Amino acid sequence: MSAPFKDLAALDRLVHEPARLALLTALAACAGADFLYLQRLTGLTKGNLSGHLARLEEAGLVAVEKRFAGKTPVTTARLTEAGRAAVERHWDALERLRRRTLHWRPEEM
Amino acid sequence: MEQPDGRARLVRVRQITAHYDLLQGLRLLPVGGFLVAFALAYSGWWPHWELDAHPAPAVAAGGTALLLNYGLAAWYRRRFGTVTCRPRSTRWHLLYAGALGVFALAMVAEHRFAPPVSVFGLTAAALTLLYWWVLGAFQTHYLVLAALLAALSLGPVPALAGALFPASGSPRVTAVAALLGLLYCVGGLYDHRLLVRALGPPPRGPGAAGEGRRGGAGRVGAV
């Protein structure tokens, strides 16, 4: 059986980055979440979270909506269809990788 | 310090987010408290409110519990944020309606037939177990609570209900209602604890939360 390391290197880095994977995983489990929830879930600073959401939005994986509730700005994020498909693909790839590494043994020299 | 299992952490992220509305455990406390208070009103331990003749105190207590529930929902939104949960499936709604039907039938059977074991209590225990399983089997406290409820339903409830709730027209139903109230309170506190531990401390300000641990990764470890 060939080594699974090529598969590991082929993972989508945009999705696989730990903070972004956590964000995408959370958003895949709901119809949308606000900034406060995502910040508390991931422990990211405001700047970091904004940066990650911006990257995901730029890639078309996430839609970010900004509005006002009274005088308070509210930012809400939700997965796009492309984002949902990307997350499912990524989790499938991780699961395949996990199963392969369970049975992989290095070849004898 | 050993890093938490990244994959397990992400599974927990998914579970917490998918069931965020149901994990707001403090909202169960007013409901649980109301059930316990309602049951205790039939205990004779304090002046019987004669609820059958004067239902106003019960209505007021129920209304207060409802208002507290709404108030706590707003508190959760302010403190932990808002999640729009995905609409639950038709299968979920059918299961929920079925469970309510079974629950009501068990209550009627308990009152009419007074079986040797409390079928109402056992049904409530089974439905608690079902709830635990349907949500993803990660709230282990409901396993323990269901087991306790089942154990009490097998012996103590049928044996002691009459003595504990002498003023009730259906002491066994009242006893199970009290136990359910306690289950809501304890289960709710543990749900809240689960949510608080998953979501971590509130953000303290720009550049504060999480930045010291892993650059850009915050609380979440690598998969």
Dihedrals φ, ψ of B82, to 5°? Answer: -120, 135
Which of A27-41, B105-119, B209-223 is most confident? A27-41
Which CA distances in Å does A64 have to A25, A73, A79, A82, B119? 16, 13, 9, 14, 50
Q: Hey, are the CB atoms on A42 and B18 less than 8 Å from each other? A: no
Q: What is the mean pLDDT of residues B11-30?
A: 93
- Give the position of tokens 């992989």: A104
Q: Hey, are the CB atoms on B17 and A41 less than 8 Å from each other? A: yes
| Residue in B6, B17, B209 nearest the CB of A30 | B17
| Residue in A22, A36, A52 nearest the CB of B10 | A22
Give, for A31, the enclosing helix (H) or strand (E): strand A30-34
What's the mean per-residue pLDDT of chain B? Answer: 83
Contact A60, B189 (CB under 8 A): no
Q: Hey, are the CB atoms on B80 and A40 less than 8 Å from each other? A: yes
| Model pLDDT, residue A10 | 67
Q: Hey, are the CB atoms on A31 and B84 less than 8 Å from each other? A: yes
Contact B35, B165 (CB under 8 A): no
Q: Hey, are the CB atoms on B208 and A25 less than 8 Å from each other? A: no
- Give the position of tokens 């994959």: B7
Q: Which residues pair with A69 in a beta bridge?
A: A72
Q: Which residues of A touch B (CB under 8 A)?
A: 16-19, 21-22, 25-48, 51-52, 76, 78, 94
For residue A37, which residues of chain B lie inside 8 Å, CB to CB?
20, 80-83, 199
Task: Using CA coordinates, name the residue in chain B closest to A24.
Answer: B14
Q: How far apart are CA A24 and CA A16, in angstroms?
A: 10
Q: How far apart are CA B212 and CA B182, in angstroms?
A: 41
Give, for A78, the enclosing helix (H) or strand (E): strand A72-79
Helices H / strands E in chain A, number of each = 6, 3
Q: What is the pTM of this model?
A: 0.83
| Model pLDDT, residue B201 | 79
For residue A48, which residues of chain B lie inside 8 Å, CB to CB?
210-211, 216, 218
For residue A47, which residues of chain B lie inside 8 Å, CB to CB?
206-207
Q: Give per-residue pLDDT as tens, B129-157.
A: 999 998 888 889 999 999 999 999 998 88
For residue A41, which residues of chain B lie inside 8 Å, CB to CB?
13, 16-17, 198-200, 219
Q: Hey, are the CB atoms on A41 and B198 less than 8 Å from each other? A: yes
User: In what order do the strands lie in the sheet containing B83-85?
Assistant: A62-69, A72-79, A30-34, B83-85
Question: Residue B197 corresponds to which amino acid?
Answer: R
Q: Which pair of structure tokens corresponds to residue B139?
A: 């709230």
CB half-sphere exposure, B65, CA atoms < 13 A: 20
Task: Using CA coordinates, name the residue in chain A closest to B201.
Answer: A40
Q: Give per-residue pLDDT as tens, A42-90.
A: 999 999 999 999 999 999 999 999 999 888 889 999 999 999 999 999 9
| Model pLDDT, residue B200 | 78
Name the residue with higher pLDDT: B170 or B208. Answer: B170
Q: Which of A40, A56, A84 to mutate to test the interface with B (most CBs of B within 10 A)?
A: A40
